[in-house]
């Protein structure tokens, strides 16, 4: 029995085009991901490529194989609820709304996994003129903070701009919008950055929310290290100590999980560091192992928790 005919360049490009359409990628973007020049794809497409065809074909085939594996894995993943409103989420959303409506500064803090970031994203997605700038650990200067904010609010790229230029561009973009500027992971900011953000608040009269872990609360309380003009601007302070039973109830209802023993185990998991975030990961992994939410048992939850390093 003769083997199948070798795949031609045209066949390979046809498979590539099908994936580009599915993923909404341009040829240039795909070439960047594949690690080749876009002209190489064009050359294979029209038969004019004079370089190392085999090397280019191998890279394209590897990229297509990666796409197929990712698609197969994605098909097994259950669809997670984008957001659910438990008591913790409601407290966070209320604090954001107060800062937004009253054009005030809010400090929202709490441990990991209580839904701070997810609630901020939900609030942004359901309201106009709300921006989230996520503050990485390396963001310890005024310029780096202003660059994060400029990106978040949609200013043009200004990689070499100084603080004054960035401040003016941000102010022009958000002033008179009745908006809300959220700085997530704000515990990473030193006091001088928070005070610069306070100046931006004074300039633009938009609401500001600093969101982070418990260190953010200490950092913004009145003290010798905190300028009085900063601490007295804070009009809303909300701390979420930990996720409660009602938060877990909202989570499992959002997922549609009904097995009582599984829910009991998840309550124990959610009481640990990581709270609802880790519980969500357990549900997702358990659903894959069980081939669906409806099939999850306590054993699936235990297995997922063990895979995440639980109990170690």
pLDDT digits (tens, 9 = 90+) for 284-307: 889 888 888 888 999 999 999 998
What pLDDT is recorded for position 183? 98
User: Which phi and psi (to 5°) does residue 110 adopt?
Assistant: 170, 175
C-alpha 57/C-alpha 6 separation (Å) is 12
Three-class SS of residue 130? strand
- pTM, to two decimals: 0.73
What pLDDT is recorded for position 1? 39
Contacts of 79 (CB under 8 A, 6+ apart): none
Q: What is the DSSP string of 46-90?
A: HT---S-HHHHHHHHHHHHHHHHHHHHHHHHS----S----HHHH
Q: Which ranges constitute the DSSP H helices of the chain?
A: 9-23, 27-34, 38-46, 53-76, 87-102, 116-125, 142-153, 163-174, 191-204, 214-220, 228-231, 245-255, 260-270, 275-290, 298-307
What pLDDT is recorded for position 3? 54
What pLDDT is recorded for position 2? 53
* H or E segment and range at residue 35: none
C-alpha 257/C-alpha 249 separation (Å) is 10
Token pair listed for 204 = 């633009």
Angle, helices 87-102 vs 116-125, to 10°: value is: 50
**Residues of the chain falling short of pLDDT 70:** 1-5, 76, 311-312
């Amino acid at each position: 029995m003769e083997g199948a005919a070798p795949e031609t360049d045209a066949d390979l490009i046809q498979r590539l085009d099908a994936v580009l359409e599915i993923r909404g990628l341009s040829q240039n973007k795909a070439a960047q991901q594949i690690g080749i020049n876009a002209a190489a794809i064009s050359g294979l497409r029209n038969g004019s490529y004079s370089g190392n065809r085999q090397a280019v074909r191998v890279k394209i085939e590897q990229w297509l194989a990666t796409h197929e594996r990712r698609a197969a894995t994605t098909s097994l993943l259950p669809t997670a609820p984008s957001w659910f409103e438990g008591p913790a989420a409601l407290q966070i959303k209320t604090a954001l709304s107060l800062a937004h409506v009253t054009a005030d500064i809010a400090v929202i803090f709490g441990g990991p996994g209580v839904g701070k970031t997810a609630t901020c994203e939900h609030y942004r997605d359901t309201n106009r003129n709300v921006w989230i700038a996520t503050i990485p650990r390396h963001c310890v200067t005024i310029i780096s903070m202003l660059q994060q904010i400029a990106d978040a609010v949609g200013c043009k790229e200004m990689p070499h701009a100084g603080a004054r230029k960035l401040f003016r561009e941000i102010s022009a973009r958000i002033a008179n919008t009745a908006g809300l500027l959220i700085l997530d992971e704000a515990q990473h900011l030193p006091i001088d950055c928070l005070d610069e953000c306070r100046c931006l608040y004074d300039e633009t009269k938009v609401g500001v929310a600093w969101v982070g872990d418990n260190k953010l609360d200490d950092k913004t309380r009145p003290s010798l290290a905190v300028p009085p003009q900063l601490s007295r601007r804070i009009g809303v302070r909300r701390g979420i100590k930990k996720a409660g039973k009602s938060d877990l109830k909202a989570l499992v209802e959002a997922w549609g999980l009904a097995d009582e023993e599984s829910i009991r185990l998840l309550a124990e998991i959610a009481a640990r560091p990581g709270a609802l975030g880790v519980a969500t990961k357990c549900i997702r992994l358990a659903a894959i192992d069980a081939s669906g939410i409806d099939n999850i048992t306590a054993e699936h939850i235990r297995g997922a928790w063990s895979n995440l390093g639980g109990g170690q």
